[in-house]
Amino acid sequence: MIEEQLEQSKSTQTKPIYYATTPIFYVNAEPHIGHAYTTTLVDVAARFHRLRGDDTYFLTGTDEHGEKIQKAADAAGLTPQAYTDQVSGKFRATWDSLDISYDEFIRTTEERHQEVVNDVLQRVYDNGDIIFGEYGGLYCVGCERYYTEKELVDGRCPQHDIVLEYRSEENYFFRMEKYRPWLRELLEDNPELIRPERYRNEVLGILREPIGDLSISRPRARVPWGIPLPWDENHVTYVWFDALINYYSALKSHGTEGHYWPHVEHFIAKDILKPHGVFWPTMLKSAGLPLYQHLNVHGYWLVDGGKMSKSKGNVVRPLDLKDKYGNDAFRYYLLRDMSFGLDASFSEVGLAERINSDLANDLGNLLNRTLGMLGKYRQGRVPEAGDLEPIDAALRDAFVTLPDRLTVMVDNLQFDRAIESVLEAVRKANKYIAETQPWALAKDEANAKRLDTVLYTCLEALRCASILLSPIIPNKAEELRAQLGLGGAFTLDDAKAWGLTPAGTATKLGAPLFPRVDLAALNESLEVKEAVIEHKPEVTIDDFARLEFRVAEILKAEAHPKADKLLVLTVKLGGEERTIVSGIKKWYDPSALAGKKVIIVANLKPVKLRGIESQGMILAAEDAEGNLSISALDRDIASGSEVR
């Protein structure tokens, strides 16, 4: 891949250059929807720039050093290298599964990266910007940085919501404060350097007061998992002074830094704004390296009203959604339902509704109607269009003017608006069919040429839509073109032209691009998941001790009147009776449940499931095929007995 890029760069010197990076993700946890959003976002941007014909390079990777990684490896019973190999491999496999078109995947444990880190460190050291000293302060292992009292929220880390420990140790420090006036003036003179503006203003707010010097090392005796400093092997490089350099080291290692680096576009989430907005530019300035073109900062995907957290058990796994709904539908939702820079609330129901409305009803319906009529009236062959009437020209103009508009929107990070603009044109095409009524034209042979023009206009609308949507839904866009009988390479300019579908082309209507989601069944399944505690947060022994497990005898069972998968059980718990709603209908005949003894969680807060209050939860075991069993007792134990 690198060799191909180098060859291409020799013949594309006049092309615009676009170098896009994701953060390199920290390997203390597996990929979740937040990682997937950033990476998919950059993938869409890179695909769009390739579509424009730009000389495009896309970098992603993993950040693998530091105290937190060392502790995670120890907990897993692995060496740090074996642990990072394992988790980094999961990131790469996830991006491959999600069809992320990265050009390079870098790991900070690679020797080529470490060589560049040493070179940059030595430059900064030789410049007199690294000093040795002692520092004491509140330290977060999760963030791998010190916090001031002012930065805390209710005395806790703003990212991890934990009480911080006080540490004091000798470190090397980067003289970051020296560059504060320069950076503040730079941001004031270049308002587009950090986008959107709210994040530039946030960095300017940080720079209004002293920022201090940055600790850039840890004693090797305490944190051996890191890159030793080139002038003092008793210290290893602090994680940010290692990790941030990846954006440059990936290019430097194969000699393309002069070509791509001046055009770098960083994409990050807002939680790492300070390292990228303050640490990184001052590091580059000291090392004598050019700054990035833009730092593009997006918001969070919120779940249940808050940020995703392993400890809260609300992590959304991208591969689960990809496997359930298809990768292109998942990508579409991520880009369509978040306005860049703002937070967005994730909802599986919202994803399904977006599939049904935009992808099935609008785009899929246009394809099915057009090819259905083409098969019925023209044996599936593309006709030759006649002269365009104003209504035809209006639809043509709605599509051929889009590429230039989309270019501006993508350049301005308005990905959701860009997608909606294409869907507006698709809806106009559906409206066009309703207004021109091809089925009525087909009744009179005198209208044959007019029918040809209408059908051809619909086909061209679909061809253009497939090109414009290809960065977002690359596989389904290709599938759409295949149904149109089209293949081969295409560019954004092809969407500016009208009439490129050859007459006589054989089309073939295939399966629906995006099958509709049964929303009623989805809602029901999500309620069942909630009922059986699908989310499994990490708990302490104290948390576990608060749960009360008891034996209950099922007195009767009947189908839930409003849910196909739920049973309403009346159970005996010692001297009382309770109602429990359970999603076990698929595995158990209600008439056969009376008399069975089961284990329940007896002290859960009651919750209404499809209108009936459930006063507990049955424990069930699940086998490899997904079958449930609620019978876990090997002897007759009285109902109400405590389970220990």
| 3-state SS assignment for residue 148 | coil
- Tell me, yes or no, whether 566 and 472 share the same domain: no
- Tell me, yes or no, whether 128 and 246 share the same domain: yes
pTM summary value = 0.79
- Tell me, yes or no, whether 240 and 355 share the same domain: no
What is the C-alpha separation between 194 and 295, in angstroms, rounded?
A: 5
172 in Cβ contact with 217 (< 8 Å): yes
310 part of a folded domain? no
What is the C-alpha separation between 192 and 160, in angstroms, rounded?
A: 30
Q: Amino acid identity, residue 276?
A: H
Of 143, 252, 285, 476, catalytic: 143
* DSSP string covering 469-484: TTTTSHHHHHHHHHHT
- Tell me, yes or no, whether 373 and 292 share the same domain: no
506 part of a folded domain? no
Of 68, 113, 157, 476, catalytic: 157
Spatial CB neighbours of 123, under 8 Å, sequence gap ≥ 6? 286, 287, 288
In the residue annotation, 535 being an active-site residue is answered as no
What is the C-alpha separation between 475 and 328, in angstroms, rounded?
A: 7
What is the C-alpha separation between 581 and 575, in angstroms, rounded?
A: 20
Spatial CB neighbours of 3, under 8 Å, sequence gap ≥ 6? none
Does 458 carry a binding-site annotation?
A: no
| DSSP symbol at 453 | H
634 part of a folded domain? no
First to last CA, the chain: 58
Of 35, 274, 294, 585, catalytic: 35
Element holding 488 (H helix, E strand): none
What is the C-alpha separation between 347 and 302, in angstroms, rounded?
A: 9
592 in Cβ contact with 582 (< 8 Å): no
What is the C-alpha separation between 480 and 490, in angstroms, rounded?
A: 14
The residue out of 298, 317, 335 marking a domain boundary is: 298
- Tell me, yes or no, whether 487 and 586 share the same domain: no
What is the C-alpha separation between 205 and 534, in angstroms, rounded?
A: 42
pLDDT number for residue 404: 97
- Tell me, yes or no, whether 277 and 356 share the same domain: no
What is the C-alpha separation between 641 and 573, in angstroms, rounded?
A: 8
Q: What is the CATH number of the domain that holds 600?
A: 2.40.50.140
In terms of Cβ atoms closer than 10 Å to its own Cβ (0-12, 13-18, 19+), residue 35 is: buried
98 part of a folded domain? yes
Q: Amino acid identity, residue 85?
A: D
In terms of Cβ atoms closer than 10 Å to its own Cβ (0-12, 13-18, 19+), residue 21 is: buried
Does 157 carry a binding-site annotation?
A: yes
Does 143 carry a binding-site annotation?
A: yes
The residue out of 451, 476, 495 marking a domain boundary is: 495
Element holding 641 (H helix, E strand): none
Handedness of CA 277, 278, 283, 289 (dihedral sign): positive
The residue out of 242, 274, 298 marking a domain boundary is: 298
What is the C-alpha separation between 273 and 369, in angstroms, rounded?
A: 48
Per the structure, how many domains does the chain have? 3
Do you find a cis peptide bond into 31, omega within 30 degrees of 0?
A: no
pLDDT number for residue 536: 46
Of 307, 312, 449, 556, catalytic: 307
- Tell me, yes or no, whether 479 and 545 share the same domain: no
For the chain (644 residues), the mean pLDDT of every run of 10, in chain order, is 47 80 89 93 98 98 91 89 94 95 97 97 97 84 75 82 82 96 98 97 96 93 93 92 96 95 97 96 97 97 68 69 94 96 93 96 97 97 97 98 98 97 98 98 97 98 98 97 95 97 96 94 72 47 71 90 84 88 84 88 81 86 61 60 61
pLDDT number for residue 5: 47
| 3-state SS assignment for residue 621 | strand
Task: Write out the residue range of the structural domain in which residue 224 sits.
Answer: 2-298
- Tell me, yes or no, whether 352 and 235 share the same domain: no
In the residue annotation, 113 being an active-site residue is answered as no
- Tell me, yes or no, whether 488 and 535 share the same domain: no
565 in Cβ contact with 586 (< 8 Å): yes
322 part of a folded domain? no
642 part of a folded domain? no
- 310: closest CA among 626, 545, 33? 33
Spatial CB neighbours of 22, under 8 Å, sequence gap ≥ 6? 38, 39, 42, 59, 60, 61, 267, 268
Spatial CB neighbours of 273, under 8 Å, sequence gap ≥ 6? 199, 202, 203, 297
- What is the edge-to-edge ordering of all strands in the sheet holding 228-229? 217-219, 232-237, 228-229
Spatial CB neighbours of 373, under 8 Å, sequence gap ≥ 6? 438, 439, 442, 455
317 part of a folded domain? no
Of 113, 140, 298, 322, catalytic: 140
437 in Cβ contact with 360 (< 8 Å): no
Cα atoms in the 13 Å half-sphere on the side-chain side of 465: 32
- Tell me, yes or no, whether 282 and 228 share the same domain: yes
Question: Beta strand pairing status for 165-174 and 130-140?
Answer: antiparallel
Of 71, 160, 178, 428, catalytic: 160
| 3-state SS assignment for residue 599 | strand
* HEC letters along 24-63: CEECCCCCCHHHHHHHHHHHHHHHHHHHHCCEEEEEEEEE
* DSSP string covering 556-570: EEEE-TT-TT-EEEE
In the residue annotation, 324 being an active-site residue is answered as no
In the residue annotation, 35 being an active-site residue is answered as yes
- Tell me, yes or no, whether 135 and 276 share the same domain: yes
Q: Amino acid identity, residue 194?
A: I
Q: Amino acid identity, residue 540?
A: T
- Tell me, yes or no, whether 208 and 86 share the same domain: yes
Q: What is the CATH number of the domain that holds 440?
A: 1.10.730.10
The residue whose two tokens read 């809806």 is 427
In the residue annotation, 160 being an active-site residue is answered as yes
Which tokens go with 555? Answer: 């007195």
What is the C-alpha separation between 465 and 478, in angstroms, rounded?
A: 11
| DSSP symbol at 59 | E
Q: What is the CATH number of the domain that holds 21?
A: 3.40.50.620
640 part of a folded domain? no
